[in-house]
């Protein structure tokens, strides 16, 4: 059973609900989110969709990585 994640929800909310999301995001190349204060500031308005676009990461790569960790991305 995969846990659903909304691509349009803020990263702050996603990580608050499931801290494992942060590790997956770092694995995908979102190292900035681990910097002190970033989650509380940028993470409040940055969504997964915006982050993927900003970092130019392939959406299918993101979906597959999250699936491997037991999540399903909902668009």
Residues 47 and 10: their CA atoms lie apart, in Å, by 4
- CA-based end-to-end distance of the chain: 18
pLDDT at 1: 79
pLDDT of 19-67, one tens digit each?
999 999 999 999 999 999 999 999 999 999 999 999 999 999 999 999 9
Q: What does pTM read for this prediction? A: 0.91
* Mean pLDDT estimate for the chain: 95
pLDDT at 8: 97
Domains, in order of start, for the chain? 3-74 (1.10.3910.10)
pLDDT at 36: 93
């Amino acid at each position: 059973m995969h846990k659903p994640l909304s691509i349009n929800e803020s990263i702050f909310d996603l990580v608050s609900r499931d801290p494992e999301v942060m590790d997956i995001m770092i694995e995908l190349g979102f190292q900035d989110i681990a910097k002190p204060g970033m989650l509380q500031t940028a993470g409040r308005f940055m969504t997964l969709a915006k982050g993927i676009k900003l970092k130019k990461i392939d959406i299918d790569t993101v979906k597959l990585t999250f699936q491997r960790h037991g999540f399903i991305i909902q668009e």
